[in-house]
Amino acid sequence: MSRLIAAGSVIYDQPDFYSPSGTINRISGIVVANLSLTLFVNNGLLGWPLVDGTTIPDSSIASGSVYFNEIPGSNGYYSLRFYPHQIGFWRFIVVHSAFSIEVIKEFDVIAAGSLKPTSSSGLNASFVRE
**SS3 call for 73:** coil
Q: What is the pLDDT of residues 85-130, one digit of tens each?
A: 999 999 999 999 888 889 999 999 999 877 665 555 555 565 666 5
Could you check whether the bond before residue 117 is cis, i.e. omega within 30 degrees of 0?
A: no
pTM of the entire predicted model: 0.81
pLDDT of residue 92: 96
Walk me through the domains of the chain, giving residue ranges and CATH numbers.
Answer: 3-110 (2.60.40.10)
Q: What is the pLDDT of residues 19-57, one digit of tens each?
A: 877 778 899 999 999 999 999 999 999 999 999 999 999
Query: Comparing 12 with 117, which gets the higher pLDDT?
Result: 12
Q: List Cα–Cα distances, 118 to 5, 25, 109, 121, in angstroms.
A: 16, 39, 19, 9
How far apart are alpha carbons 67 and 82 in whole angstroms? 6
